[in-house]
Structure 1
């Protein structure tokens, strides 16, 4: 049986190479070339023709070039970055990038949810949160290693698993995910700015400020985001230590006391795990976007370790403080009222004095959300371009502007529902991201070595890419099955209902099981039938 399987894969590898070779030989007829390694000639020609046909596209292109020349804006879009165009970047930039994204008071809110909404003890919330973080961070750390060797963005790399059309679905989902996580950060930043003004500036104005600054940084491009993130976390970390010191006298004197018992307690543990796990694994859909400028021979182990540590360390440092604040939330009626009204702004106004110092802390905390949101807007713009040539012809900064506008509108409408958004939306997105990165991991470790690795030059060649039947089927069958184990305020699946009074979320476990069982079987038959 093993010999037959090996023969099948050798034949499939040879067939895939033949497809690419034959495709190159007939590119004059097929109007496709993969020799360039960045954008296929047909795609480039199509873009040129579209600009020649439509005046507004020429206008946008000239604007893009003007920004690059006169404002130093990084106008590189979704195209592949060839090895000879890479630059030397400090390895520590990898870690500080993720450190800055996760070093913000939004992590405090995630910590509050455990004891504040699910009745867990402070100790339980800390332990479950840290375990979920360490497991979830494996996703972005792995997916980041795929981009420097290929020079492709994360969603572009996913074409080797889901095919060209399947990756378009992934592009759409990535935009949904990034917008979904950017909305609560905009709300949190807006609430802080409102607190600074003593309520004179409402939350909506604060949301506009945070979103606008994040958009501006995303338009400046990759180097600007790296530069900002390299230093922005330092003062935020210092101020979070200050919050810990001043809040410590208010900590719940019974950190092991929990407010839920029996199966309801078990359900709370499962649901809380899903929320935190979903928050950390969500970076998997775009973590590699920020490594395409690194040298192709950069150590994969280094990329993995720096990304992993840069993701988990802020959570390990900030998350326990959030859990402790959650303990105060359920044991201190005065703080309960203030937090419900002002969220993170309430934390600052309740614990930090004098008022001038509290104002300074609030300003820095509000600005700390820019690190993550600018990256989310940037990545969403890339994903929009990867939907096809008609989308790629639109400059990156236009898509960034559209995404920022959507974030602004949704945050404006949901500004009074921060905890509800976090507790429902993050877990829901985490199910899909787990399937996304799980399929890519199985493809990378099981099938790519047998198929000759990643033919990065052929990333836009439909005959070089897999059809994606296995990946797309696994992804959507798995996602559908997670609804059986989902436990959200708006829906509780039949399996989740079996656990506790309100249901326990077992969606991530269903996603993982479906992926591990289904994808290898379907992918084996896909390669055997189509040779790629």
Structure 2
């Protein structure tokens, strides 16, 4: 989030920082719920969802304590057992996916709404990315970082979303799958798919449950940095303390949310995606148009000096003005805007486009009165 100070300003960046903290917390809650459900399904219910959630959260916390070098090593390997699990699951259950029961065709509005939700999950990585890439060698071409990040998100998300959609459509026609998926228990569905493999299937289920630590641990690591940007005076506090605080918040909310608020959390994270889209628009316009893609224009010596940073008025103003188009385009359980009733959820797309269009002239006005890039 420190990079955002060069567009949002020293004080203005506190707003996206608090939104980022809320998004990371919700993201961790969803992952802990899924991991806890999956662990519980292996024990046939003797291990409760609550205990499973605690196990996932503690494992993730321990991994986050190890620092970026261990996190990098862990992330390089964590996808391998997950791939094995999905290959085995397809091998065991693929026969049920050949002739699924007929499903109601999705409308264009439903497709747009789903795409907006998925994009909202992914784009929230943008405020976190520089927390990790700052440690990479400056000699690495930027196009490589871009390509690796793009493929790293798209390949697993597209394939797993397609697999998940196929399995959920087929589940009602497979008794064991349908029973495992009762009450939206995704972990139970995975365990049911791997049941024919016996003990090996249970082992694979445990592996995929623990794999969510690959999502939670880096988020806990980045949580510390966002918190210190939100409250700069807290920089004297050891970063691991913020990870402990985040875990203490995530565990009880995950336990409560696993039974009552799962849909609410999902829609909450969809809402978080709207601000992240606006944030991404500001960062991209600032870098490619205002600074003409010149990394040397970021005066690193002033990263912590409010006097030599932008006011943030343009970034905050553009984001607020964009809300005028975003709100009518939202399609969530708790609110459906007048535009969204016809088009589906296009709030994500409009947040990006409108913020970019508003930010450019506002930033030039800001530069005219305060010539600080």
Residue 228 (structure 2) aligned to one of 357, 364, 385: 385
**Unaligned 5+ residue runs, structure 1?**
1-154
Structure 1 residues 498 and 318, CA gap change in structure 2 (3 angstroms): closer
Structure 1 residues 237 and 453, CA gap change in structure 2 (3 angstroms): same
The yes-or-no answer on 1:444 pairing with 2:290 is no
The yes-or-no answer on 1:344 pairing with 2:190 is no
Higher alpha-carbon Rg = 1
TM-score between the two structures when normalised by the length of structure 2: 0.93
Deviation string, structure 1 residues 293-312 (Cα, Å, up to 9, x no partner): 22223211111111111221
The yes-or-no answer on 1:299 pairing with 2:141 is yes
Q: For 2:333, what is the secondary structure of its paired residue?
A: coil
Tell me which residue corresponds to 1:271. Answer: 113
Tell me which residue corresponds to 2:345. Answer: 505
Tell me which residue corresponds to 1:531. Answer: 371
Q: For 2:8, what is the secondary structure of its paired residue?
A: helix
TM-score between the two structures when normalised by the length of structure 1: 0.66
Deviation string, structure 1 residues 402-444 (Cα, Å, up to 9, x no partner): 0111111211111135762464133211111111011100000
Tell me which residue corresponds to 1:229. Answer: 75
Tell me which residue corresponds to 1:328. Answer: 170
Q: CA deviation at 1:518?
A: 0.6
Q: CA RMSD in A?
A: 2.1
Tell me which residue corresponds to 2:216. Answer: 373
The yes-or-no answer on 1:470 pairing with 2:314 is yes
The yes-or-no answer on 1:314 pairing with 2:156 is yes
**Alpha-carbon distance in 2 for matches of 1:277, 1:368:** 22
Contact 2:177 2:193 in 1 (8 A): no
Contact 1:188 1:418 in 2 (8 A): no
Q: CA deviation at 1:341?
A: 3.5
Residue 40 (structure 2) aligned to one of 169, 172, 194: 194
Deviation string, structure 1 residues 44-77 (Cα, Å, up to 9, x no partner): xxxxxxxxxxxxxxxxxxxxxxxxxxxxxxxxxx
Structure 1 residues 531 and 184, CA gap change in structure 2 (3 angstroms): same
The yes-or-no answer on 1:404 pairing with 2:247 is yes
Structure 1 residues 220 and 450, CA gap change in structure 2 (3 angstroms): closer
Q: CA deviation at 1:524?
A: 1.0
- Number of residue-to-residue matches in the alignment: 370
The yes-or-no answer on 1:460 pairing with 2:300 is no
Tell me which residue corresponds to 2:237. Answer: 394
Q: CA deviation at 1:497?
A: 2.3
Contact 1:348 1:358 in 2 (8 A): no
Contact 1:252 1:327 in 2 (8 A): no
Structure 1 consecutive aligned stretches of length 4 or more whose deviation exceeds 4 Å: 330-334
**Alpha-carbon distance in 2 for matches of 1:325, 1:419:** 20
Structure 1 residues 195 and 334, CA gap change in structure 2 (3 angstroms): closer
Contact 1:192 1:345 in 2 (8 A): yes
**Alpha-carbon distance in 2 for matches of 1:202, 1:286:** 32
The yes-or-no answer on 1:217 pairing with 2:70 is no
Residue 207 (structure 1) aligned to one of 41, 53, 64: 53
Contact 1:178 1:380 in 2 (8 A): yes
Q: CA deviation at 1:523?
A: 0.7
Structure 1 residues 431 and 465, CA gap change in structure 2 (3 angstroms): same
